[in-house]
Amino acid sequence: MGEGTVVGEAAGLYVHVPFCSAVCPYCDFAVARGSGADRERFVGALVEEIDLIGEGERHRGGEAWGFGTSRFDTVYFGGGTPSALSLGQLGAIRRRLAAAFAIDAEAEWTIEVNPEDASPESLAGWRELGFDRISLGLQALDDSALRFLGRRHDAAEARASVELAREAGFRSVSVDLIYSLPGFDADWWLRTLDEAAALGPDHVSCYELTIHDGTPFGRRRDAGRLRETAEDERAASFVATHRRLAELGYEGYEVSNFARREADRSRHNRKYWRHQPYLGLGPSSHSFAGRSRWWNVAPWREWSDAVERGGSPVAGREELTDGQLLLEAVMMGLRQRSGVDCAELERRFGSDPSVGNGGRIEVWEKAGWLRVAGRRLTPTLEGMARADRLAAEWELR
């Protein structure tokens, strides 16, 4: 039997804050606008969930979750928009986390923030609470694109938020951008990357606009009022993104993520990509330990109801087989610059993923999508652009 996660490695904590000042037309996350009273109720329920889970941690240790450790070395506040909560509310959550869990003194603390919420006062407050990494949801750097995306900030606020975060003393400043917007051409996107890099962030995340069913954009597409960018255009934008950011000093270490230095890579997100343990708190959050994955109910009121009744907010759970874990590891490896280490995966899961795929690997290597060095398979840029397709064709024995 394989090991799943590596015994003794520190876990990550994720806190989902479901509130946004407005719900963007492309968003299909578990978010809501929420009143002041809603946010107070949410914080109260979150503190209860922390206490409930933290009590189990104190009595039984990380083995209760299958982590093999009770240590946490990353904490990530995502959403939604964590900056929609007041400093007092965030402080209450922060203190309760520190009391309930064994969080390393040098842990990475990340908070997602909308540019319109980033003032000198709020940034100083988040730094005081211990957040050392900030992820700013710029999405675009011109007003027409921001209006199309339904964002509440303008381009000037986007630029100012990066400068203010720098001045506030965050160890690492990350910015999010969205490409493949209908009606905005390749030159527009390259200018966006140049302008973003000129602001000097340590980390950049670039996401392709995906139009989901049931969202306002999805309904506009279905009604013929919004044209989704063609697949070949999206692929060209992906390659152009990696090449331009490499020229600007940002290494693409994962399909959507770029960093100036290794120290600027997201330690928390790498736990998801590498089958490392993480514990999710709040509505819709996911957790993973060894071979178990579970997730909370998504609507925040249903989640609050469950917690306030003293019950479990967990909506579902799955136990993964070695084969499932191995296939996930291959899939995530093809999305990362580090690639797939077949020897390591055989050690963990008792099976070499390249067995039975030699013909495919040879074809993909000749096509320029993979590089083969011993038992390591490393995707090229063109291979990363096809990562999901390559993973779908992979066969395990």
Same domain for 232 and 362? no
Tokens 């299909």, residue located: 28
Residue that is last in its domain, among 246, 273, 300 = 273
Enter the tokens of residue 240: 């152009």
- Give me the phi and psi of 366, to 5 degrees please: -65, -35
Does a structural domain hold residue 132? yes
Residue 5 resides in a domain = no
Residues 30 and 151 in one domain: yes
* Separation CA 111–CA 161 (nearest Å): 14
Please tell me whether residues 239 and 341 are part of one structural domain.
no
Task: Let me know whether 93 and 211 are in one domain.
Answer: yes
> In terms of domains, do 355 and 257 share one?
no
Peptide bond into 34 cis (omega under 30): no
Residue 140: HSE in the Cβ half-sphere, 13 Å Cα cutoff: 22
Given 273, 307, 335, the domain boundary residue is 273
Question: How many Å apart are CA 354 and CA 329, to the nearest integer?
Answer: 12
Instruction: Give the integer Cα–Cα distance in Å for 162 and 165.
Output: 5
Long-range contacts of 245-252, Cβ-Cβ distance < 8 Å, separation of 24 or more: 245/193, 245/197, 245/204, 245/206, 248/193, 248/194, 248/197, 249/197, 250/197, 250/203, 250/204, 251/337, 252/337, 252/381, 252/384
Pick the closest to residue 284 from 12, 11, 13, 18 (CA basis). 18
Residue 296 lies in a domain: no
d(CA 191, CA 368): 28
Whether residue 209 is contained in a domain is answered as yes
Query: How many residues appear in the chain?
Result: 397
Whole-model pTM: value is: 0.93
Do 350 and 234 lie in a common domain?
A: no
- 315 occurs within a structural domain: no
Determine, yes or no, domain membership for 309.
no
Looking at the structure, tell me whether residues 240 and 331 fall in a common domain: no
pLDDT value of position 3: 46
At 20 the pLDDT is 87
Do the beta carbons of residue 205 and residue 257 sit within 8 Å? yes
The whole-number pLDDT of residue 6 equals 46
Q: Which of 273, 306, 341 is the last residue of a domain?
A: 273
Encode the chain (397 residues) as per-residue pLDDT tens digits: 344 444 457 999 999 999 988 788 888 777 788 789 999 999 999 999 999 887 655 544 455 555 656 789 999 999 989 999 999 999 999 999 999 999 999 999 999 999 999 999 999 999 999 999 999 999 999 999 999 999 999 999 999 999 999 999 999 999 999 999 999 999 999 999 999 999 999 999 999 998 889 888 889 888 989 888 888 888 899 999 999 999 999 999 999 999 999 999 999 999 999 999 999 999 999 999 988 999 999 999 999 999 999 989 999 999 999 999 999 999 999 999 999 999 999 999 999 999 999 999 999 999 999 999 999 999 999 999 999 899 999 987 7
Q: What CATH number is attached to the domain comprising 175?
A: 3.20.20.70
Co-location of 252 and 343 in the same domain: no
Domain count, the chain: 2
Tell me: do 228 and 158 sit in the same domain: yes
Give per-residue pLDDT as tens, 179-213: 999 999 999 999 999 999 999 999 999 999 988 89
Q: How much is the pLDDT for 186?
A: 93
Same domain, 351 and 265: no
Residue 166 lies in a domain: yes
Specify the CATH number for the domain of residue 349.
1.10.10
pLDDT of residue 165: 98
The predicted structure's pLDDT at residue 4? 47
Shared domain for 330 and 240, answered yes or no, is no
- Do 129 and 192 sit in the same domain of this protein? yes
Tell me whether residue 127 is in a domain: yes
Q: Mind spelling out the 3-state secondary structure of the chain?
A: CCCCCCCCCCEEEEEEECECCCCCCCCCCCCECCCHHHHHHHHHHHHHHHHHHHHHHHHHCHHHHCCCCCEEEEEEEEECCHHHCCHHHHHHHHHHHHHHCEEEEEEEEEEEECHHHCCHHHHHHHHHCCCCEEEEEEECCCHHHHHHCCCCCCHHHHHHHHHHHHHHCCCEEEEEEEECCCCCCHHHHHHHHHHHHHCCCCEEEEEECCCCCCCHHHHHHHCCCCCCCCHHHHHHHHHHHHHHHHHCCCEEEECCEEECCHHHCCHHHHHHHCCCCEEEECCCCEEEECCEEEEECCCHHHHHHHHHCCCCCEEEEEECCHHHHHHHHHHHHCCECCCEEHHHHHHHHCCCCCCCCHHHHHHHHHCCCEEEECCEEEECHHHHHCHHHHHHHCCCC
Residues spanned by the domain of 361: 326-393
Q: Tell me, what's the pLDDT at 5?
A: 45
Name 359's Cβ contacts closer than 8 Å, sequence gap at least 6.
none
